[in-house]
Amino acid sequence: MIFLINLLWFIFGGFFAWLGWMLAGALLALTVVGLPWAFAAFRIAPFAAWPFGRTLVDAREVGEERIVGTGIANVLWILFAGLWLAIAHITAGVGLCVTIIGIPFGLAHFKLAMVSWAPLGKRIRDA
């Protein structure tokens, strides 16, 4: 069932979410300053394509150490991109939750809104 929902998500929007994160990562990778966000964007892209049955957790929950400056980098992300991405995903999620069929996809947008807010230090884990 999760595969079917992920497939529907990918066909009707997940591909574009994946592509957006990949393009953002590629653009951020063009500068040395943007590399931390580029790596985060490349890490989030597969989650944006196939969000069902997976969750995003803090890197410390999977045994990794937090990189110094992650909090400050996330604040900069929030100011320049995170707020607007989160608003877009929340708006899409609310719009999809209006219909019963759209509720699972709306919830996926809410998960993407959370990671859009502060993507650094996140890892994908199976739910």
Residue 41 CA to residue 99 CA, distance in Å, equals 30
Query: Which domain range does residue 97 map to?
Result: 2-126
- Count of domains observed in the chain: 1
Which residue in the block uniquely carries the two structure tokens 């995903």?
A: 89
Tally: H helices and E strands in the chain: 6, 2
In the prediction, which pLDDT does 57 show?
Answer: 87
pLDDT at 93 over 80: yes
Q: Which residue has the tokens 């996140």?
A: 122
> Nearest-CA neighbor of 80 among 37, 31, 112?
37
pLDDT of residue 50: 94
Average pLDDT, the chain: 90
Give the Cα separation of 2 and 28 in Å (integer).
Answer: 32
User: Is a pLDDT exceeding 80 seen at residue 67?
Assistant: no
What is the pLDDT at residue 111? 92
Report pLDDT for 6.
95
Q: What is d(CA 69, CA 40) in angstroms, rounded to the nearest whole number?
A: 14
The whole-model pTM stands at: 0.83
pLDDT at 62: 82
